[in-house]
Amino acid sequence: MKIVLASGSPRRKEILTEFGYAFSVEKSNFVERDDQADARFVALKNAEGKANDVFLRLSGSGKAGNFAVVGADTVVFLDGVILGKPKDRFDAVRILKMLSGKTHTVVTGYCVLSANIRVVGIDETIVCFNELPDETIGEYIDRCKPFDKAGSYGIQDGFPLVNYVKGSLYNVIGFPIEKIKPVLDGLLK
């Protein structure tokens, strides 16, 4: 069984590598939803859409082999509002100011898809931010350039943004390995 990651995310690649999986990457062409529907629904549908896109492309390409495609999508939301990836520096500042001193939720939808199985689910983590002075926000954006990150931040970046996390740290990074690992291990037996 070959594992195919339907994502170009360096963080997802790092987590799969950290846990010892051999895999290939096929970036999905699925257009993510980012409307203001329920964050759980958006994350799950995006993960399924990414996995389906890559699975159908590989299945129709005549590539031989037994494979499983893993898709994931992470959504940050605060008070029912989805905070997507920032459009630019000003948007990143706006989002980080919204999160400053508040508790928000990070949801990652995931989908593992092969010829024989389809496993979908979500993981949720509560994240409480420290109060962020403008200088910290500016320095963080300048140094870490969080423009490809939901909610305008990467918890793994080493800045004093977060007060506490309740739930999976891997989920906040963008790949709830605790939920996905048992599925992949079962497929690889």
- Please choose, from the candidates 29, 22, 27, the residue with its C-alpha nearest in 3D space to the C-alpha of residue 3: 22
Residue identified by tokens 């594992």 is 3
- Please choose, from the candidates 144, 34, 14, 156, the residue with its C-alpha nearest in 3D space to the C-alpha of residue 92: 144
The angle that helices 134-144 and 89-99 make with each other, rounded to 10 degrees, is 130
> Counting runs of H as helices and runs of E as strands, what totals does the chain give?
6, 7
State how far the Cα of 162 lies from the Cα of 114, in Å rounded to an integer.
37
Is residue 79 part of the annotated active site? The answer reads: no
In order, the DSSP letters of 101-137 are: T-EEEEEEEEEEEESS-EEEEEEEEEEEEPP--HHHH
From residue 84, give the alpha-carbon distance in Å to each of 32, 92, 146, 152: 11, 10, 11, 8
The one catalytic residue among 53, 73, 142, 148: 73
State how far the Cα of 165 lies from the Cα of 74, in Å rounded to an integer.
16
Q: What are the residue numbers of the active site?
A: 73
